[in-house]
Amino acid sequence: METMVHIFLMGKQYEVPSNLTIMKAMEYAGYQLIRGCGCRNGFCGACATIYRVKGDRELKVCLACQTKVEDNMYVATLPFFPLVKQVYDIEKVSATQQIMMQLYPEIYACIGCNACTNSCTQGLNVMQYIAYAQRGDFEKCAEESFDCVMCGVCSSRCPAGISHPQVAMLARRLNGKYLAPKSQHLEDRVREIKNGDFKELLENLMQKPLSEMQELYNHREIEQ
């Protein structure tokens, strides 16, 4: 016998099995989701959700696909939030503090309330990565923000109007492109292929009869 709980979806009460996630509970209640549902697996940030348990003062946030229902949970979904995404040319920008001042000056209006960190569905230290961005320390900003799924809940809680996920996105791209060490072996291999170095080897391989191909595959040496 499954245990049932009462939840409130946008304020309306439903009775659902207690072992469901919020997302599955909405479907159980009869919602055919269009918005607010993406990967169903905690990676895409489509199902940002705000809830409060009756009698509790604290507003909590979560991803609906990753969170179990609780009795007397009041649920409001946040399938879209108007983040500010500035447009730039990744080839023309440089990884300096000026780029943040230019594209996202509002980060310098951060009042240090930490509402972003408290609201992060991934448990990230959001205010800290914004602080790194302010200082132009993109490597640290990238590292600290790496697990962000860009659900936008942090921005919905920010009194300074910062679009944290977009700031972090910029920092990660700058870090990945300009600051992280170059991979010499990759550049070499791309050049060798352009040079046609492997063409003959591959074409010879592709022309082999199936039996020989199977023999080669079944006895290939595997790196330890």
Partner 1 sequence: MYTKEMLESMKKVEANRAANAVMEPKRMTAEENDTLLKTYHPDYREEEFDVLAIGPNKGEKVPKELAALLQANSRIHPEEIDLSRVDYDVDVLIIGGGGAGASAAIEADNAGAKTMIVTKLRIGDANTMMAEGGIQAADKPNDSPAIHYLDAFGGGHFAAKPELLYKLVTEAPEAIAWLNDLGVEFDKAPDGTMITTHGGGTSRKRMHAAKDYSGAEIMRTLRDEVLNREIPVVDFTAAIELILDENGKAAGAVLLNMETQEILIARAKTVIIATGGAGRLHYQGFPTSNHYGATADGLILAYRAGAKLLYPDTLQYHPTGAAYPEQIFGALVTEKVRSLGAKLINANGEVFMHPLETRDVAAASIIRECSANGKGVPTPEGVGVWLDTPMIELKGGEGTIEKRIPAMMRMFGKYDIDIRKEPILVYPTLHYQNGGIDITSDGQSTVENLFVAGEAVGGIHGRNRLMGNSLLDVIVFGRNAGRSASAKAKETTTGALTLAHVDAYAKEMADAGIVSDIVSPKLLPDYRRKK
Cβ distance to partner 1 smaller for residue 159 or 212:
212
Contact criterion met (CB below 8 Å) for 11 and 74: yes
Q: Which residue has the tokens 């023999």?
A: 215
- List binders of partner 1 among 32-61 (CB under 8 A): 32-35, 37-44, 46
What is the Cα–Cα distance from 224 to 205, expressed in whole angstroms? 24
When binding is defined by CB under 8 A, the residue of 4, 13, 54, 198 that contacts partner 1 is: 198
Q: Which residues pair with 60 in a beta bridge?
A: 51
Cβ distance to partner 1 smaller for residue 98 or 159:
98
Question: DSSP secondary-structure letter at 56?
Answer: -
What is the Cα–Cα distance from 158 to 114, expressed in whole angstroms? 9
Identify which range of 49-57, 102-110, 153-161, 180-188 contacts partner 1 by CB under 8 A: 180-188
Is residue 110 at the binding interface for partner 1, with CB under 8 A as the rule?
no
Nearest CA to 26 out of 51, 60, 54, 55 is that of 51
Centroid of chain to Cα 136: 21
Nearest distance in Å: CB 112, partner 1: 26
Nearest distance in Å: CB 113, partner 1: 25
Is residue 88 at the binding interface for partner 1, with CB under 8 A as the rule?
yes
What is the Cα–Cα distance from 56 to 54, expressed in whole angstroms? 5
Nearest CA to 37 out of 180, 171, 151, 156 is that of 151
When binding is defined by CB under 8 A, the residue of 5, 9, 21, 163 that contacts partner 1 is: 21
> Which residues would be at the binding site for partner 1 (CB under 8 A)?
19-21, 24, 27-35, 37-44, 46, 66-68, 85, 87-90, 122-123, 142, 146-147, 149-150, 169, 172-177, 180-187, 189-190, 193, 198, 201-202, 205-206, 210, 213-214, 216-218, 220-223
